[in-house]
Structures are given as C-alpha cells and as structure tokens.
C-alpha cells in the first residue's frame, strides 16, 4: 500500500483494495465479453442488440475505471491489465462460436447477473469491515449492472 492521508485504517484499506481489484478484473473481463458479443451478434434485431452491447461495454469500462480509481484513492495499486484480468476474473469464459441474438443475450445475461451478484456481495462485505465509501461504490455499480441486465434481457420474448 502507498502512503496516504486517508483516515481509514490500513487494514481496512488493504481489504478494500483486494476486493476492488478482484472486481476490476471481472469488470475488464465483462467489458471484453460485451465487445465479443457486439462484434459477433447476428440475426433478427441485430442493430438494436449490436448497439445495446456497445452501450453495455461502455458501462463496464466505466465500472473498471471507478474500481481502479477507488483502489488508488485508498493507497492501493490497481491491477488492470488484460493478463491480470484473465487470470483473476471470476466470470465464466465467454463462449466462442455463437452468433445468434438469443445465444448472445443468454451469455451476456449470465455474465451480467454473476457480476451483479458479486458486487452486491462486495458492498455488504465492505460495509461489514467498515469501508462505507467502497460499499457505496459497489452499491452504485450493482444498481447500474441490474439496469444493464434488464436492458439485455428485455430483448428476449417473455416465456
């Protein structure tokens, strides 16, 4: 950890930096998964879904930036290279070889749901050990992730 005048206890800052870096890796992975879907989706509704995936990828990139900057604010080091993300991401690898709108919607929904659940858990964990600001960031990302999941899932016909 870097020296900082941040008044949170060093142990709390270290726990938060670790939690933030875990989610930074997943957010970078989610960004690349969304771009994969954006580039490869085909079929009816193509343009709307293609544009939606691009918007979701922009959101995921923003989450990465927020997570990395909070890590730095706590005196930590953000580990945000693609190699680190590939090693540390908890997301299921995105399937290659799919093209249809429904297949990509299904895959993206799963990734968004997993990321959303994990950031909700991270918000609770950060609050439990006393870092309310990091908890608030995770809560904000959770709300945004849920909204993106809603947008993506809305492209499927109701069962």
Over range 118-141, report the average pLDDT: 98
159 pLDDT band, cuts 50/70/90, is confident
Asked if residues 46 and 105 have their Cβ atoms less than 8 Å apart, the reply is no
> Per residue in 81-97, pLDDT tens?
999 999 999 999 999 99
Q: Supply the CATH number for residue 16's domain.
A: 1.20.1260.10
The SS3 call for residue 42 is: strand
Mean confidence (pLDDT) of the chain: 96
Range of the domain at 139: 10-87+99-153
Gap between the terminal Cα atoms of the chain: 50
Count how many domains the chain has. Answer: 1
In a domain, 5, yes or no: no
In a domain, 159, yes or no: no
In a domain, 3, yes or no: no
If you ran DSSP here, which 8-state letter would residue 78 be given? -
Residue 46 has a CB neighbour count (10 Å cut-off) of: 12
In a domain, 4, yes or no: no
> Per residue in 55-84, pLDDT tens?
999 999 999 999 999 999 999 999 999 999
If you ran DSSP here, which 8-state letter would residue 75 be given? T
The pLDDT value recorded for residue 49 is 96
Over range 110-137, report the average pLDDT: 98
In a domain, 158, yes or no: no
In a domain, 144, yes or no: yes
Residue 48, classified by CB atoms within 10 Å of its CB into exposed (0-12), middle (13-18) or buried (19+), is exposed
In a domain, 2, yes or no: no
7 pLDDT band, cuts 50/70/90, is confident
The pLDDT value recorded for residue 157 is 73
In a domain, 127, yes or no: yes
């Amino acid at each position: 950890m870097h020296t900082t005048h941040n008044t949170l206890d060093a142990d709390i800052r270290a726990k938060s930096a670790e939690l933030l870096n875990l989610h930074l890796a997943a957010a970078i992975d989610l960004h690349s998964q969304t771009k994969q879907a954006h580039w490869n989706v085909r079929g009816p509704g193509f343009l709307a879904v293609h544009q939606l995936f691009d918007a979701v990828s922009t959101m995921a990139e923003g989450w990465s930036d927020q997570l990395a900057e909070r890590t730095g604010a706590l005196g930590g080091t953000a580990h945000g290279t693609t190699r680190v993300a590939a090693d540390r991401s908890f997301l299921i690898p995105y399937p290659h070889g799919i093209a249809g709108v429904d297949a990509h919607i299904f895959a993206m929904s799963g990734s968004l749901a997993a990321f959303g659940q994990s950031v909700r858990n991270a918000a609770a964990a950060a609050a439990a050990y006393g870092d309310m600001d990091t908890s608030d960031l995770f809560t904000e990302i959770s709300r945004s992730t849920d909204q993106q999941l809603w947008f993506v899932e809305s492209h499927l016909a109701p069962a």
